[in-house]
Amino acid sequence: MKKTTRRQFLDNTGKAAMAGTVIFAANKTGKMELKNIFIHHVYFWLNNPDSKDDLNKLKEGLTKLSKVKTIKEFHMGKPADTNRDVIERTYAISWFCMFDNAADQESYQKDPIHLKFVEDYSSLWKKVVVYDSVDA
Amino acid sequence: MKKTTRRQFLDNTGKAAMAGTVIFAANKTGKMELKNIFIHHVYFWLNNPDSKDDLNKLKEGLTKLSKVKTIKEFHMGKPADTNRDVIERTYAISWFCMFDNAADQESYQKDPIHLKFVEDYSSLWKKVVVYDSVDA
């Protein structure tokens, strides 16, 4: 049953992709390679890393920020339990956004919701690192 | 037409999510909030950043790596054209992987395909930074 459902999902994804609205390509193994997308991944370090209140405020702000229309997918994250030398796990919150293209990401930067987010919440963080990536 | 196709897609995503296979939740605005996932985002810096050959070799390696079964979605990226102070854009390749959970990511780390990837291609990079994140 799982298998069928997954196939239905992928079939439909294919149809949507043809219509230009969705950005997945299913490969032979059934997993999805993301293509023709713009990934905007932001990591925040808080001024008060031990403040649960500040953390919750930032999450509240990002929930508001998620309303920006050009965002196709988003994820609000925190460091996983993994811990190796190469893993950066000192950030407080990761903010993953997927856009259809660079223009949509640019539009997001200028969106009033985004400007208000920066205005209202930027006092919470001391450092932010952004990785923007497009198909290699 | 776009709208209908997107709705079909989201309907089906809902069904798949109920079956426990897919990891999206559509919110009121039609965009998707990723939930109950493990994001593993890796950034590579090459020993020879100007070598197109080395870049292509790493891409070849990541294509092989993408066959690991527990990967649900992946994206091979390069820095976008965006350029602000907060943007880290000196890496050569970004490697985004989505897993269902921490156990699947751990399994990926130990997968023979992954071990072979490190063995065959790690001489190409001088630095790698990993951000693992789970739902905040």
For every residue of B27-60, which 3-state class applies, written as one string?
CCCCCEEECCCEEEEEEEEECCCCCHHHHHHHHH
Mean pLDDT (chain A) is 86
Q: How far is B73 from chain A (nearest CA, A)?
A: 5
Residue A7 banded pLDDT, cuts 50, 70, 90: very low
Bridge partners of residue B96, in order along the sequence? B41, B75
Mean pLDDT (chain B) is 86
Beta strands in A47-109 (DSSP E): 73-79, 93-99
Q: How large is the ipTM? A: 0.81
Residue A22 banded pLDDT, cuts 50, 70, 90: very low
As a whole number, mean pLDDT of residues A27-39 equals 83
pLDDT of B24-83, one tens digit each? Answer: 555 555 689 999 999 999 999 999 999 999 999 999 999 999 999 999 999 999 999 999
pLDDT of A26 strictly over 80: no
Of all residues in chain A, the percent with pLDDT exceeding 70 is: 78
Pick from A3, A2, A23, A15: nearest CA to A99? A23
CB A79 within 8 A of CB A89: yes
B20: left (phi over 0), alpha (psi -120 to 50) or beta: left
Q: Are strands A24-26 and A32-34 parallel, antiparallel or unpaired?
A: antiparallel
pLDDT of A12 strictly over 60: no
Look at residue A117 in the predicted model and tell me its pLDDT: 98
CB B27 within 8 A of CB B13: no
Task: Say whether pTM exceeds 0.90.
Answer: no
Alpha-carbon torsion A42, A46, A50, A52, what sign?
negative
For residue B134, list chain A residues with Cβ-Cβ distance below 8 A. Answer: 77-80
Higher-confidence residue of A86 and A23: namely: A86
Contact check, Cβ <8 Å, B12/A8: yes
As a whole number, mean pLDDT of residues A60-65 equals 98
Q: Are strands B24-26 and B32-34 parallel, antiparallel or unpaired?
A: antiparallel
Q: How far apart are CA A16 and CA B48, in angstroms?
A: 40
Q: How far is B6 from chain A (nearest CA, A)?
A: 6
Residue A6 banded pLDDT, cuts 50, 70, 90: very low
Instruction: Name every residue whose Cβ is closer than 8 Å to that of residue B76 and which is 6 or more positions away in sequence.
Output: A135, A136, B59, B62, B63, B66, B93, B94, B95, B96
For residue B29, list chain A residues with Cβ-Cβ distance below 8 A. Answer: 67, 69
Look at residue B31 in the predicted model and tell me its pLDDT: 82
SS3 B22: coil
pLDDT of A75-130, one tens digit each? Answer: 999 999 999 999 999 999 999 999 999 999 999 999 999 999 999 999 999 999 99
Of all residues in chain A, the percent with pLDDT exceeding 90 is: 77
